[in-house]
């Protein structure tokens, strides 16, 4: 909350040695202690002025839109609440480092007796901020340099540049973001990027150079994003021993696609939510705006969370997707879905479920996956109220299936195919929450329904049903500017 100062006319002491000497002021001051309380109660007030201190390059119109509601407040409590909301909105714009709110009675000639002045004292962000990080993971170390230009032209436009220089690959991305003045949820952004990714489960290396433009807008409680993306993809083999099926996919292709995504998220947190639901539906149509890849892709994610007794949370989730190539060309390995790993079906190697050729996983054109989870606090609640709150015990049941479809066969055949040979697993473990970004899991997992060609973890131990897991990291939020990860 910002600082709220409310000044009132101070009463002078009723008796004291100096009372007589203040003759002139004495008659001016007639208020009594009770009057102070009267002002602080729900007395009707009118906000007459809203002042801004500290604006530099920010333009006026964008500010006016955010604080418009403050003028509508009718009593002091509402003024405080609306000012607080306006402060949140101003901070959301991402152009101020700090926003303080001062509420004061109105002074001046046109001041009404119940008039209030609200002053926002803001500190703008610097024109250019930089960051430097090093990242280590996946057998690769990299240096990430970031540059941010917030509030470029005064209306909360933001330009971000990220450059990652790694031992294996180099990536960079440039992004321009512009919200609509007065309606931050409607925003527009353009991205330019080059990312490289290595996928050892498919012996594939992929380099994407692309440009995308997207527009987000809310409708009622949902958030929609419409995007056009043009990507020049270069696929290559990661090693000489890559299978021929993967080798055949090497080369260049151009994908130009239009996509629409809808998200409804009422969860209280994205990592270990306690309540709420999430629904994401995504459609993509490629090929009609250029490029040489043509398909229709559909995928969805549903998650429901419910809090139970004793601080435990029950969570159910379901994902699914389908890729339909248009025309004669078969689908490309870069567009297909993958299944397996700590974020989908635990107990199976990362993306190592489904059609494969000589040990390289090729992905599939249709999949579904689901999970039932029960999160409870640690037994005996060590560190309760502090560090222990970051941990949860976790019981889970995961299932899923991935396959290629022959689209000539009809929907009944497809459903039957997806319903046979289901891979599933169950187990328990501990989850550690890392800020609001990621979660770390340590699980003991039993994979079942393993099909020929799948890769359940640690097969070389020759204990086909018992698998002890090492650290695996489920990270639902990966900064998408610079990571190339398979979008399910």
Partner 1 sequence: MWGSIPQCQDHALSRRQTLNHRATQAPQLLILLVSNSFIPGICVLISLPRDFDPSLYLWVSQAFLQMCNLPIKVVCRANAEYMSPSGKVPFIHVGNQVVSELGPIVQFVKAKGHSLSDGLDEVQKAEMKAYMELVNNMLLTAELYLQWCDETTVGEITHARYGSPYPWPLNHILAYQKQWEVKRKMKAIGWGNKTLDQVLEDVDQCCQALSQRLGTQPYFFNKQPTELDALVFGHLYTILTTQLTNDELSEKVKNYSNLLAFCRRIEQHYFEDRGKGSSSIRSS
Range in contact with partner 1 (rule: CB under 8 A) among 157-165, 239-247, 333-341, 455-463: 239-247
Binding flag, residue 477, partner 1 (CB under 8 A): no
Nearer to partner 1, 243 or 376 (CB): 243
Residues across the chain: 488
Binding flag, residue 247, partner 1 (CB under 8 A): yes
Binding flag, residue 453, partner 1 (CB under 8 A): no
Residue 210 bridge partners (DSSP): 193, 231
Binds partner 1 by CB under 8 A, chosen from 15, 17, 240, 380: 240
Binds partner 1 by CB under 8 A, chosen from 16, 130, 218, 290: 290
Binding flag, residue 237, partner 1 (CB under 8 A): yes
Binding flag, residue 232, partner 1 (CB under 8 A): yes
SS3 state at 71:
helix
Instruction: Tell me the number of residues near partner 1 by CB under 8 A.
Output: 19
Binding flag, residue 228, partner 1 (CB under 8 A): no
Binding flag, residue 291, partner 1 (CB under 8 A): yes
**Helices (runs of H) and strands (runs of E) counted in the chain:** 6, 22
Q: Give min distance, CB of 131 to partner 1, in A.
A: 32
The helix (run of H) or strand (run of E) holding residue 428 is strand 423-434
Look up residue 45 and give its two tokens.
């007030």
Q: Give min distance, CB of 285 to partner 1, in A.
A: 16
Nearer to partner 1, 179 or 287 (CB): 287
Binds partner 1 by CB under 8 A, chosen from 94, 236, 377, 449: 236
Binding flag, residue 334, partner 1 (CB under 8 A): no
Binds partner 1 by CB under 8 A, chosen from 102, 254, 302, 378: 254
Binds partner 1 by CB under 8 A, chosen from 16, 141, 218, 251: 251
Nearer to partner 1, 84 or 247 (CB): 247
Q: Give min distance, CB of 254 to partner 1, in A.
A: 5
SS3 state at 387:
helix
Look up residue 298 and give its two tokens.
């559909």
Sort residue 292 into left (φ over 0), alpha (ψ -120 to 50) or beta: alpha
Report the b/e string of 429-462 with b at 16+ CB within 10 A: bebebeeeeebbbebebbbebbeeebbbbbeeee
Q: Residue 224 and residue 244: Cα distance in Å, rounded?
A: 40
Give the CA distances from residue 190 to residues 2, 157, 181, 397, 462, in Å, rounded to whole numbers and listed in that order. 34, 11, 17, 40, 51
Nearer to partner 1, 126 or 252 (CB): 252
CA distance between the termini of the chain = 40
Q: Give min distance, CB of 215 to partner 1, in A.
A: 24
Q: Give min distance, CB of 237 to partner 1, in A.
A: 7
Q: Residue 446 and residue 463: Cα distance in Å, rounded?
A: 10
Binding flag, residue 176, partner 1 (CB under 8 A): no
Q: Give min distance, CB of 169 to partner 1, in A.
A: 18
Nearer to partner 1, 157 or 249 (CB): 249
Nearer to partner 1, 336 or 373 (CB): 336
SS3 state at 474:
strand
Question: Do 398 and 315 form a contact (C-beta atoms < 8 A)?
Answer: no
Binding flag, residue 292, partner 1 (CB under 8 A): yes
Pairing mode, strands 438-448 and 204-219: unpaired
Question: Do 216 and 202 form a contact (C-beta atoms < 8 A)?
Answer: no
Q: Give min distance, CB of 210 to partner 1, in A.
A: 12
Range in contact with partner 1 (rule: CB under 8 A) among 23-31, 215-223, 231-239, 405-413: 231-239
Q: For every residue of 10-37, which 3-state class applies, written as one string?
A: CCCCCCCCCCHHHHHHHHHCCCCHHHHH
Binding flag, residue 358, partner 1 (CB under 8 A): yes
Nearer to partner 1, 305 or 332 (CB): 332
The helix (run of H) or strand (run of E) holding residue 308 is none
Q: Tell me the chain's radius of gyration from C-alpha atoms.
A: 29
The helix (run of H) or strand (run of E) holding residue 415 is helix 411-419
- Return the number of other C-beta atoms located less than 10 Å from residue 119's C-beta: 17
Range in contact with partner 1 (rule: CB under 8 A) among 163-171, 234-242, 343-351, 408-416: 234-242
Q: Residue 247 and residue 236: Cα distance in Å, rounded?
A: 7
Question: Do 323 and 337 form a contact (C-beta atoms < 8 A)?
Answer: yes
Q: Give min distance, CB of 176 to partner 1, in A.
A: 21
Q: Give min distance, CB of 253 to partner 1, in A.
A: 8
Binding flag, residue 248, partner 1 (CB under 8 A): yes
Q: Residue 485 and residue 488: Cα distance in Å, rounded?
A: 9
Nearer to partner 1, 125 or 285 (CB): 285
Q: Give min distance, CB of 481 to partner 1, in A.
A: 23
Binding flag, residue 329, partner 1 (CB under 8 A): no
Q: Give min distance, CB of 295 to partner 1, in A.
A: 15
Residue 158 bridge partners (DSSP): 150, 177
Nearer to partner 1, 222 or 289 (CB): 289
Q: Which residues bind partner 1 (CB under 8 A)?
A: 232, 234-237, 240, 243-244, 247-248, 250-254, 290-292, 358
């Amino acid at each position: 909350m910002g600082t709220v100062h409310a000044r009132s006319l101070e009463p002078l002491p009723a008796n004291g040695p100096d009372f007589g000497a203040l003759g002139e002021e004495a008659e001016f001051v007639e208020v009594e202690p009770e009057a102070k309380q009267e002002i602080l109660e729900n007395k009707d007030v009118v906000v007459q002025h809203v002042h801004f201190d500290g604006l530099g390059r920010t333009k006026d119109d964008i500010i006016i839109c955010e604080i418009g509601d403050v003028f509508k407040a009718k009593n002091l409590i509402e003024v405080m609440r609306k000012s607080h909301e306006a402060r949140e909105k101003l901070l959301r714009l991402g152009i101020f480092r700090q926003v303080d709110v001062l509420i004061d009675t109105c002074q001046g000639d046109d001041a009404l007796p119940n008039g209030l002045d609200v002053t926002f004292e803001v500190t703008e962000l610097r024109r250019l901020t930089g960051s430097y990080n090093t990242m280590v993971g996946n057998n690769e170390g990299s240096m990430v340099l970031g540059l941010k230009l917030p509030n470029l032209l005064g209306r909360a436009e933001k330009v971000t540049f990220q450059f990652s220089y790694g031992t294996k690959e180099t990536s960079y991305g440039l992004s321009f973001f512009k919200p609509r003045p007065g309606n931050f949820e409607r925003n527009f952004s353009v991205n330019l990027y080059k990312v490289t990714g290595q996928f050892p489960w498919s012996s594939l290396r992929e380099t994407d150079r692309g440009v995308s433009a997207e527009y987000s807008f809310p409708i009622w409680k949902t958030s929609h994003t419409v995007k056009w993306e043009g990507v020049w993809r270069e696929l290559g083999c990661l090693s000489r021993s890559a299978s021929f099926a993967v080798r055949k996919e090497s080369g260049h292709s151009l994908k130009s696609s239009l996509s629409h995504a809808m998200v409804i998220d009422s969860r209280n947190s994205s990592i270990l939510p306690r309540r709420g639901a999430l629904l994401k539906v995504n459609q993509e149509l490629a090929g009609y705006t250029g490029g040489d890849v043509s398909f229709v892709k559909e995928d969805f994610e549903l998650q429901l969370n419910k809090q139970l007794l004793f601080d435990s949370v029950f969570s159910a989730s379901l994902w699914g997707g389908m890729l339909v190539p248009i025309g004669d060309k078969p689908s490309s390995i870069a567009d297909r879905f993958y299944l397996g790993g700590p974020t989908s079906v635990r107990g199976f190697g990362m993306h190592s479920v489904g059609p494969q050729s000589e040990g390289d996983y090729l992905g599939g054109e249709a999949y579904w996956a689901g999970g039932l989870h029960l999160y409870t606090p640690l037994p005996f609640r060590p560190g309760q109220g502090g560090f222990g709150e970051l941990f949860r015990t976790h019981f889970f049941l995961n299932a899923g299936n991935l396959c290629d479809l022959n689209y000539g066969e009809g929907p009944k055949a497809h459903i039957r195919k997806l319903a046979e040979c289901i891979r599933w697993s169950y187990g328990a473990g501990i989850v550690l929450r890392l800020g609001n970004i990621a979660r770390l899991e340590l699980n003991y997992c039993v994979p079942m329904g393993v099909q020929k060609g799948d890769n359940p973890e640690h097969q070389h131990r020759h204990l086909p049903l018992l698998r002890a897991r090492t650290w695996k990291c489920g990270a639902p939020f990966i900064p998408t500017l610079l990571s190339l990860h398979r979008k399910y």
